[in-house]
Structure 1
Amino acid sequence: MTTKATNIHPVFDRIIGRDEKEQFLNQKACVVWMTGLSGSGKTTIAIGLEKELQKRGFLTQILDGDNIRTGINKNLGFSEEDRTENIRRIAEVSKLFVNCGIITINCFVSPTLEIRKQAKDIIGEDFREIYVNASYEECEKRDVKGLYKKARNGEIKNFTGLDAPFEAPENPFLEIKTSDMTPEQSVEEVVNAILPQLIKNK
């Protein structure tokens, strides 16, 4: 059983606040949370979005599932408990970036309604959920990382969409159907939707 520490003294009230940092960066921070099956196009869209926003003078940070699991979450597996902890840590890191005024672009399967609600509860009103929608069949056909083949061969257990569930968002900020669009079209649609969210009121 973990005992809550009693010797913690936060200094949030003494450091430069988010509003001042947003004024400095001339942008409004938020978390663009992309959810969808592996291979649906989340990372491709995120990279395109980052490039387009930088052209317009916005400061961003991408948090991607594979990158995170080689660093801060390298000790976690893919059990239900570890997936929950994975998303909890990511949401807390995202909140830190937002408090620095930075637009955070997240690419995580985050497969269940409950796990994404956890992220939203931590991040708060700055959470913008984007459903990158591609069918299991389409993602398996792409199989850009070779994961679907390994899952079919039994080399990967609890693979989302095959032997672990994926629950589609019920009311996302935006839904992108990547089976029907080019990557460039997908990026353009996300840019157009998210840009008004990033303008800092003077």
Structure 2
Amino acid sequence: MKENIIPHSYQISIQDRRQANKHNSFLMWFTGLSGSGKSTIANVVEQELHKKGIKTYILDGDNIRKGINNDLSFSPEDRTENIRRIAETANLMVDAGLVVLAAFVSPYKKDRENIKSIVKDVNFVEIYVNTSLEECEKRDVKGLYKKARAGEIKNMTGISAPYEAPEDPDVEINTEQVSVEQAVKQIIEYITPKLKLKNE
């Protein structure tokens, strides 16, 4: 089947789209435990970028699981496939000239390495939202930890499934020590040089 797939050569390139948008495009990947603050921080980062005229889009666990990946469970194999599909989707969006913000637990190191290989290192920013399990359980925004402790949820990251923390993230945010505003400032400072086109 694969031998019958012949890519078409289109005239408008990623560089053309970036030039039209007047900024670079790349993927910002927020990883951390459920309740760590990934989506909250990503949301505010997107608002700040929007104010600056940056073309963005957020991919979030809940909107992806309800749509494109609604056939997947939370088994290790399906988690890997979930992340692979998201990475491929993000890659298309980066090619479209967007700054993509993706907020997913993404607990396995090998899956995050695979994302990097799909979108390429130069287009990948790993942001580790480092919040302790104790703090995440205390917040328990969605009530998932309570259900997991009661045995109602299987394969819950941090409880009955592992989380492999990034060893060398581009940005690390400790939400127990910094505010959302401080976290956003830290991220914006890191990505600002990356937004600039090479000929600027």
Mark yes or no: TM-score above 0.5: yes
How far does residue 45 in structure 1 lie from its aligned partner after superposition? Answer: 0.6
Mapped partners of 2:11, 2:105: distance in 1: 34
Aligned-partner Cα distance in 2 for 1:15–1:91? 24
Displacement after TM superposition at 1:163 (Å) = 1.0
Give how far 1:201 is off.
2.5
For 2:168, the equivalent position in structure 1 comes to 171
| Deviation per residue, 1:27-69 (Å, 9 max, x gap) | 1001000100000000001100000001111000100011100
1:98 paired with 2:94, answer yes
State the aligned residue count: 198
Match of 2:33 in 1: 37
Cα offset for 1:77?
0.5
Aligned residue in 2 for 1:139: 136
- Structure 2 counterpart of 1:187: 184
Question: Per the alignment, do residues 15 and 71 of structure 1 end up closer, same or farther by CA in structure 2, a change over 3 Å counting?
Answer: farther
Q: State the Cα distance separating 1:118 from its structure 2 match.
A: 1.2
Q: Deviations over 1:146-167 (max 9, x none)?
A: 1111111111001001111101
Taking the aligned partners of 2:147 and 2:180, their CA distance within structure 1 comes to 26
For structure 1, the residue ranges without an aligned partner over 5 or more in a row are none
What is the percentage of aligned positions where both structures have the same residue? Answer: 53
Higher mean C-alpha deviation, range 44-53 or range 187-196 = 187-196
1:51 corresponds to 2:36: no
Matched, 1:7 2:1: no
Q: Distance in 2 between matches of 1:103 and 1:152?
A: 37
| Secondary structure of residue in 2 paired with 1:84 | helix
Match of 2:70 in 1: 74
Name the TM-score, length of structure 2 as normaliser: 0.96
- State the alpha-carbon separation in 1 of the partners of residues 147 and 182 from structure 2: 30
* Superposition deviation, residue 8 in structure 1: 1.6
SS of 1:23's equivalent in the other structure is helix
Residue 198 of structure 1 corresponds to: 195
Structure 1 residue 15: Cα displacement = 3.6
Work out the CA distance in 2 between the residues paired with 1:156 and 1:15. Answer: 49
Match of 1:116 in 2: 112
Would you say 1:28 and 2:27 are equivalent positions?
Answer: no
SS of corresponding position for 1:69: helix
Structure 2: which 5+ runs fail to align?
Answer: none
Partner SS for 1:140: helix
Structure 1 partner of 2:15: 19
Selected match of 1:85 from 76, 81, 96: 81
User: So what's the TM-score if we normalise by structure 1?
Assistant: 0.95
Whole-Å Cα distance in 2 between the matches of residues 48 and 195 of structure 1? 15
Q: CA deviation at 1:5?
A: 3.5
Aligned equivalents of 1:152, 1:194: Cα separation in 2: 38
